[in-house]
Amino acid sequence: MDIYRYLSTFTIEEKAEGFFRASGRIAASCPLFRGHFPGKPILPGAFHVWIAFLALTQSTGTNHRLVRISKAKFRQPLLPGDAIAIFCHYNKEGNGAVTARVTIEKDGKVASKFTIVALMADFPTTSPHPQ
């Protein structure tokens, strides 16, 4: 299933150092809505994070690996066809990490808030474990 094409249709509308705002619509035909939940489909919370992660990668022009999610609060469901706005304040660290504080809004109200930490995909790591 090619989920990426359903979640990557967001436009970066505003961009400044350490900040971006993106907007888009979650395709009603997205297969993630099937089975979650039958009769009342909502976008799983993990994909709130994934949408923001894709927008972060697009905005910074850098490939990242998602490392950590924290402080996640899912306040209202995202439904098929919903238009959303993503607000992201991020800091690039010297070790190749990016910490991003994200708010996703629907109809001007907070749908979810969370912090993600990502590592540049090609940044050398000193981990003793193979990737």
The length of the chain in residues reads 131
**Measured between alpha carbons, how far is residue 73 from residues 38, 78, 90 in Å?**
23, 13, 18
Local confidence band at 8 (pLDDT 50, 70, 90 cut-offs): low
What's the confidence (pLDDT) of residue 129?
38
Confidence at 29, pLDDT banded by 50, 70, 90: confident
Model confidence pLDDT, tens digit, residues 79-130: 999 999 999 999 998 888 999 999 999 999 999 999 999 998 765 544 443 4
Confidence (pLDDT) at 95: 84
Confidence of residue 33 (pLDDT cuts 50, 70, 90): confident
Going by C-alpha positions, the residue among 70, 93, 79 that lies closest to residue 18 is: 93
Cβ neighbors of 30 (< 8 A, separation 6 or more) are 3, 6, 7, 43, 80
Domain borders along the chain are: 4-120
Task: Tell the residue number behind the tokens 């990737």, with chain if given.
Answer: 131
66/35: higher pLDDT: 66
Higher pLDDT, 104 or 30: 104
Q: Could you tell me if 55 and 16 are in contact, meaning their C-beta atoms sit under 8 angstroms apart?
A: no
Fold classification of 4-120 (topology level): Thiol Ester Dehydrase; Chain A (3.10.129)
Give the three-state DSSP class for 88. Answer: strand
pLDDT at 1 over 70: no
- Looking at every residue in the chain, the average pLDDT score rounds to 86
d(CA 128, CA 131): 9
Alpha helices in the chain (DSSP H): 4-7, 45-60
Q: Taking a C-beta distance cutoff of 8 angstroms, is the pair 77, 24 a contact?
A: no
